[in-house]
Structure 1
């Protein structure tokens, strides 16, 4: 059985130079993928992923094992992506705050439209959403995070996360021609599928450890899918 993120973090903090590269190996694909879906630019996503591991490495001692390491690391990635969007002059809307008290049956993320669609089509739909909704859905369905953990990542109240999940799901339904009531359109009967239930609370879900930079021990150039953080990388 492999070491947990928390154990790897402990080894890093204890001076074990071999531990951090293992954290990078475990998270680099996920962090890059997350950044790419938010920024929609491979180069910007590489930069954000690298910045994430640099800041994680430098701030490793601030990680508190009371929460999953993954949410700590994704919080850093979230901040890197938001900074990149602001630098590019994009404003991140927060107009979902006008969903004050949604009933529980409306905000549960158990009815994800994702399960009704093939992966490629879902990618296209998510990419078409405003970033605050696509991010919440990505964290919920790709990272298996519940509202409480997503709230820690994005820095907004849990109720806001639930509103974003609800509205993001409704936007996808609308794009598929499905009314908020769930009535399917003639063109997309698959969107009417009932999706599998997902209990969202992230209690004791995952534990893990952060990421690096300057003087960071580890090489992230040996990636099977692409040289994401390539030979010139500081990671």
Structure 2
């Protein structure tokens, strides 16, 4: 069954349909949180589904379930970082990075130098730029779907995606340990990003 049918059954009280949706999206949600927070990933995934149940009445159509789910995850991520931030400066996901908010290496497993470089670069660009790129490269969301997740106009998201790619390339250049690894990463950015998708999935 597709998401729409499962969601309709879940709304009608079919718990098995709800569990099927949970299993379908658990890995993607875990991957979403895992490259941004150092711990508590499973709790955040659980909170996402609880909030999904509580806010299901706000879902415009069953066809937009995936965007709705990631929008909840995105809001929870922001709330988590906002609660952790110290000092007088307000939390600004367009300026502050995941690395600044939660220092330490990514919990995603990186086998290759290109993967490690890409993960580090993603974590050191502004959080919103990181989210945009990971939703695009890892979750295969369209720019229109990402606009729903981010709560921004479609045209704005398209321009921010371009800027996020520029920021990522700048950070790759700054962080690369060797010209060869940098060249390999930049030349096949889509491929290395795709290779990290499976690395970000929890073991089955």
TM-score w.r.t. length of structure 1: 0.63
Once the two structures are superposed, residues 164-189 of structure 1 have per-residue CA deviations (whole angstroms, 9 ceiling, x without a partner) of 222221122112339xxxxxx95532
- Aligned partner of 1:172 in structure 2 is 168
Change (3 A) 1:76 1:192: closer
- Contact 1:31–1:77 under 8 Å retained in 2: yes
- Aligned partner of 2:183 in structure 1 is 189
- Aligned partner of 1:42 in structure 2 is 39
**Aligned match for 1:11, one of 9, 12, 28:** 9
Which contiguous aligned blocks of 4+ residues in structure 1 show a shift greater than 4 angstroms? none
Once the two structures are superposed, residues 57-110 of structure 1 have per-residue CA deviations (whole angstroms, 9 ceiling, x without a partner) of 122233232643110110111111111111112712446xxxxxxxxxxxxxxx
- Aligned partner of 1:229 in structure 2 is none
Once the two structures are superposed, residues 127-183 of structure 1 have per-residue CA deviations (whole angstroms, 9 ceiling, x without a partner) of 1211011000001000111221111001122233223222221122112339xxxxx
Instruction: List gaps (5 residues or longer) in structure 2.
Output: 96-112, 191-200
- Contact 1:132–1:164 under 8 Å retained in 2: no
- Contact 2:7–2:62 under 8 Å retained in 1: no
The Cα RMSD (Å) is 2.8
Matched, 1:225 2:196: no
- Aligned partner of 1:155 in structure 2 is 151
- Aligned partner of 1:92 in structure 2 is 92
Alpha-carbon distance in 2 for matches of 1:145, 1:48: 21
- Contact 2:30–2:202 under 8 Å retained in 1: no
Q: Aligned runs of 1:95-174 on 2, under 5 Å?
A: 118-174=114-170
**Aligned match for 1:78, one of 58, 63, 74:** 74
Alpha-carbon distance in 1 for matches of 2:121, 2:80: 22
- Contact 2:94–2:128 under 8 Å retained in 1: yes
**Aligned match for 2:27, one of 23, 26, 29:** 29
Aligned length: 170
Instruction: List gaps (5 residues or longer) in structure 1.
Output: 96-116, 179-184, 197-222, 227-235
Higher relative contact order (CA 8 A, sep 6+): 1
Bigger Rg over Cα: 1
Once the two structures are superposed, residues 34-72 of structure 1 have per-residue CA deviations (whole angstroms, 9 ceiling, x without a partner) of 12223x2221x3332121100111222332326431101
